[in-house]
Amino acid sequence: MTEIPEHLLKRSRDRRAALGLGGDDAAASGEDAPAAAPATTGAATPEAAPPPPSGPAGRRAVAAAAPPPPPKPDPPYIAAAKNRKKIPFWAMMALSLMPLWLFMYVRSVTEPPEVATGPLGVGATVYSNCASCHGSAGEGGVGRELDKGEVLKTFPHIEDQIRFVYFGTANYNVAGVASYGNPQREGGAHNAGSFGPMPAWGETAGGELTDAQILAVVCHERFTISGEDPTGAATEKQFNDWCAEDSPIYAALQAGTPMAELGTTPILDNENQPIQIIPIGDKPAEGSPP
């Protein structure tokens, strides 16, 4: 280590004093201070890097996901629906039965339709065998028209209509009977088989209807389909004797009186008077004039 000459130190103190830097004090304190280490020339030696860790590399922390945006507020009408009071479960059960209660109430206060009984009621059911040819309302088709009074023009007497329905056109042709019904019909009498075959419906003629059913369907065709007035002066007795609910002729057929014996077996009306009946017989026959 080289010692600094005294005259250089003094010169330094004087210079510092001239500049107002406290040269004397600094020099006085510097006398006892150790000399500074000489500067080392050349590039500084870099410090050695720390050795890499010997253990496994640590996991990096995953960055936290950004929070979702807040939900949009409901529109006013949806918010009102959510805040509206809900119907309780028990009330829903009661409301589901409302249609049934309404149906039962309407049924209880509605009068049931009047259902025809006796020959007219039975005849309406039996007529389903005739509707395929004569139409559901007697409007005609393969068979002749029965409505609008047509059946009454052909058969002014109920006995002639019963006979034709019982035996049919085939039996009329076999028996050599050319026409049926009213021989003086306006426009001429109907010839058997002129408008398609009429099947025989009577049991003894090969048909499938009982004698009482044949009377019932004839009553339906006359008083329901063709529109004969059951209260008219000329037809009221006919209706009461043949087609009323308490018809004595219908009761006799139900009791077993054969159709062929009508007219030969005494049957009393509701006033205990014998009923005048044109004999129907056991084979086809010409019709009777009015």
32 pLDDT band, cuts 50/70/90, is very low
Q: Which residues contact 211 (CB under 8 A, 6 or more apart)?
A: 202, 203, 253, 257, 258, 259
pLDDT on residue 177: 96
36 pLDDT band, cuts 50/70/90, is very low
Mean pLDDT across the chain: 83
pLDDT tens across 47-86, in order? 555 666 565 555 666 667 788 888 888 888 788 777 777 7
Q: Is 30 exposed, middle or buried (0-12, 13-18, 19+ CB in 10 A)?
A: middle
pLDDT tens across 224-242, in order? 999 999 999 889 999 999 9
Of 75-79, 175-179, 261-265, the range with the lowest mean pLDDT is 75-79
pLDDT on residue 231: 92
Average pLDDT of the segment spanning 16-36:
55
Cα torsion angle, 82, 87, 88, 93, sign: negative
The pTM of the whole model exceeds 0.85: no
Residue % of the chain over a pLDDT of 90: 54
Neighbours of 186 (CB within 10 A): 7
Please tell me the distance from the alpha carbon of residue 265 to that of residue 137, in angstroms, as a whole number.
35
Neighbours of 119 (CB within 10 A): 29
Q: Which of 17-21, 77-81, 173-177 has the highest mean pLDDT?
A: 173-177
Tokens standing for residue 197: 């075959």
Average pLDDT of the segment spanning 25-39:
47
Instruction: Write down all domains in the chain, each with its CATH number in brackets.
Output: 118-261 (1.10.760)
Residue % of the chain over a pLDDT of 70: 80
Name the DSSP letter for residue 182: -
